[in-house]
Amino acid sequence: MIYDTVIVGAGSAGSILATRLSEDPDHHVLLIEPGPDYPDIDNLPPEIKNGVIMPIVDDPGNPHNWDYRGRGTDVSDPIVVPRGRATGGSSAINAQIYLRGQPEDYDSWAEGGLDEWSYTKLLSGFRRSENDLDFGGDFHGKGGPISCVRSAREDWLPAQEGFYEACRAIGYADTADHNLPDSTGVGPLAFNSVDDVRISTSIGYLSSARHRLNLTIKADCQVHRVIFEGKRAVGVVAESGGEMFEVRAREVILSAGAVVSPQLLMLSGVGPKDHLEEHGIEVIADVPGVGQNLQDHPLVFLSWNTVPDYDFQLDKRRLQLSLRYTATDSPDRNDMIVYMNSAITERTERGGRRNSPIGIGMNLGLNMADSRGEIRLTSTDVTDQPLIDFNYMSAPRDLDRMRDGLRRLAAVGEQPEFAVNVTGRATPTDAILDDDDALDHWIRTEATTGHHISCSNKMGVESDPMAVVDQLGVVRGVEGLRVVDASIMPTCVRANINATVIAMAERMAELIVG
């Protein structure tokens, strides 16, 4: 059989594309996922179903986590990079923060020539995908596949309440809804989980489409490369149960994420010519931007020791509130974010024992980093993890803003509303905080991933030499091949990226069908 569309990866984008494209009963779609498939909520393992914590990070051998490692800086230890391995992709294992970027993020894409990707055009994707249980109006969706909800004030944990009051005392604005286009300040985060059940794209989208005769979901099946005839993609080579086979299609869409989509392109002969030749790969198309422009939101963690008998309430969500603000002298609105963490655990940032709390903390994130990294092949075997080099803090302004942010948050921690819960700050120490050189070294050593890997197959106009796809996701230099996932963002948005990836998939489906 020749499928109309083969989609590689049933994650945040792939599940949506499969759902939307198969709405046409004459369009036959094959969705391939290397991880297992769980067709409904009742079949979900606890670590995927649970909507409160991320236990998969504690278990490197978990079958639902690719368990990658990345390079942060030249002085940091290897960074744990969890990626989802199941239908739903990373939406099946993430922290479920459902936060939109700033309108300026999307408008900058349009101003760069991608006129189909302005905020107003992407808003339909946000609204169509969303079922906001707290807010309505022009900027929110009701009845969409992905439900989201915020913690009510009466359910805020003591550390969250103290953080909120301390931020307000210093002068940060109150924001009840971080997803309004002009929001800034401190307030509750929206989460795509209801009654502690995670609403992944598998649950939200695929569950409504599984009955369709024109949609086939093939789980536990790993794609090794795209098949080309000349410059046209005509299918994929895949493996299932130890058996290799070919699948033919009129179009192939890679939705394998910002790590694997560039890896598959390069293994298939599409990428930087010199790099492909180093690995003995036949060059189908010399596309220098594949694997380049990698972006993320680096995090560092401030921690405080708690007062005796502090009640950590580990059965409740540890992240409830967030502060978004603009760094000193920055022209970029809300380029910084802070997640208040009601339970800092041993080496939380590198996947430590999450149920052994040692304090409370604030996670400081650089939401609009200038630094750029890359994805590179380490071998021609798709099962070998590619190189993930984040290259954090290589841009001087990134260090400046992180240094400024750490000192801001230390001041928040000194406010009596927050200090009532703690006996003192544990990290970074005053000696480090007061010394620019020492603080810079601490940041470069401690910076870790915000789990928002993106932009490694950037979308761009024809004149951009580093663009990998056009605004319809079509890969440069070939035919019959698209990429639709976080990798095609030109720049990383100022927010947790899952809501944006979902809206992008909705928008791309709209453009493909239209």
CA distance 494 to 450: 12
Which residues have a Cβ under 8 Å from the Cβ of 329 and sit 6 or more positions away?
none
**Angle, to 10 degrees, between the axis of helix 103-111 and the axis of helix 119-129?**
130
Share of the chain above pLDDT 70, in %: 96
| For residue 22, pLDDT beyond 50 | yes
Domain ranges in the chain are: 2-49+83-117+198-294+454-513, 149-196+295-446
pLDDT in tens, 308-320: 999 998 878 889 9
Structure tokens at 207: 């569950």
Low-confidence winner among 47-61, 280-294, 447-461 (lowest mean pLDDT): 47-61
pLDDT in tens, 121-165: 999 999 999 999 999 999 999 999 999 999 999 999 999 999 999
CA distance 33 to 39: 13
Do the domains 2-49+83-117+198-294+454-513 and 149-196+295-446 sit in the same CATH topology, yes or no?
no
**Integer CA distances (angstroms), 405 to 362, 377, 399, in order:** 11, 35, 10
Indicate the Cα dihedral angle 489, 81, 497, 428, nearest 10°.
Answer: -120
> What does the pLDDT average to over 99-103?
97
Secondary structure string (H, E, C) spanning 216-239:
EEECCCEEEEEEEECCEEEEEEEE
| For residue 498, pLDDT beyond 50 | yes
pLDDT the model gives residue 63: 86
Q: Which residue has the tokens 């992180």?
A: 402
pLDDT in tens, 335-387: 999 999 999 876 544 444 456 788 999 999 999 999 999 999 999 999 999 99
The answer to whether the beta carbons of residues 37 and 14 sit under 8 Å apart is no
CA distance 28 to 6: 9
pLDDT in tens, 372-427: 999 999 999 999 999 999 999 999 999 999 999 999 999 999 999 999 999 999 99
pLDDT the model gives residue 53: 56
Distance from first CA to last CA of the chain, Å, rounded?
25
Phi and psi at 16, nearest 5°, equal -70, -45
Q: Options 3.30.560.10, 3.40.30.10, 3.40.50.720, 1.10.3720.10; which CATH number does 149-196+295-446 get?
A: 3.30.560.10
CA distance 156 to 416: 18
The answer to whether the beta carbons of residues 242 and 439 sit under 8 Å apart is no
CA distance 118 to 499: 16
**CATH number at 2-49+83-117+198-294+454-513:** 3.50.50.60
Told to judge if 452 belongs to the known catalytic residues of this protein, a careful annotator would answer yes
